[in-house]
Amino acid sequence: MRNSRLEEVGTFAQDEFVGDSEGRDLYCSLLYPQHTLEFSKYPADLYVMTWLLGYVDPSDPCFVAAILTITFNPLFWNVVARWEQKTRQLSRAFRSPYLACYSLGAAILLLNVLRSHCFTQAMLSQPKMESLDNPTAYRMGLALLGVGSTFVLSSFFALGFTGTFLGDYFGILKEARVTTFPFNILDNPMYWGSTANYLGWAVMHASPTGLLLTAVVALVYMVAILYEEPFTAQIYQQKASLSHKRS
């Protein structure tokens, strides 16, 4: 029974919200209270996801490529960094932990360029959201892009290249964890700044596909943070312990 009702809701979402291409108003569901009542029986996140999926073709190759690059990038740099921390194979191959870290950083930058390209192509290949296609929304997206870029760039300048690109896994440690701006405002500003950039880019393009992909970016970063934070804290605890023993 529950599956049949979900299918009914999904059918309604497709009929009502995909109708932009047929000239129907995005918010025409407001004219149908019986459907509004039907949606109210489900959680808000299910409603939003059903609504966004009404615009998105998940089988589109550009969308699939965007999902793959979004999920692959953090997986790649975490696996490689953990492997390096345990084996020092990259440091030995490049005969320097700094050269090894620079090489991994360059690879991460190239992968992020590819991710941004796939994200943009996925947005351009799918329909726009008429309610976001206006100057006010564009300015809001531009503001988000500005805030996100500020967090990303200030994080980079505070950490430096090796601090940004996992130098601590290569044994390149700072004297202490950075607590200056923007780290005194929020944790992991590089990740959340990047998320804000993608959100702003999606709003500027009035793209429901971009909004959905931004949610995937945020989710992947949250998983990465849960994986990285304890390990980074452990590295600096070990450093502090060694320094204490030497003193």
Annotation: binding site for S-adenosyl-L-methionine = 146-148, 228-229
196 and 188 Cβ atoms separated by less than 8 Å: no
Q: How far apart are the first and last CA of the chain?
A: 69
Neighbours of 220 (CB within 10 A): 19
Tokens at residue 131, please? 């309610």
Comparing CA positions, the residue from 245, 243, 244, 229 lying closest to residue 168 is 229
Per the listing, tokens 């929020």 go with: 186
Tokens at residue 80, please? 């490689």
- CA 76 to CA 207: how far, in whole Å? 28
Q: Burial-class residue 173 by CB neighbours within 10 Å (0-12, 13-18, 19+).
A: middle
The residues, any chain, with a CB within 8 Å of residue 214's CB and separated by 6 or more, are: 195, 198, 199, 202
Computed on alpha carbons and rounded to an integer, the radius of gyration of the chain in Å comes to 22
> Is the Cα dihedral 147, 152, 153, 155 positive or negative?
positive
Per the listing, tokens 């998940």 go with: 58
Enumerate the known binding-site residues: 146-148, 228-229
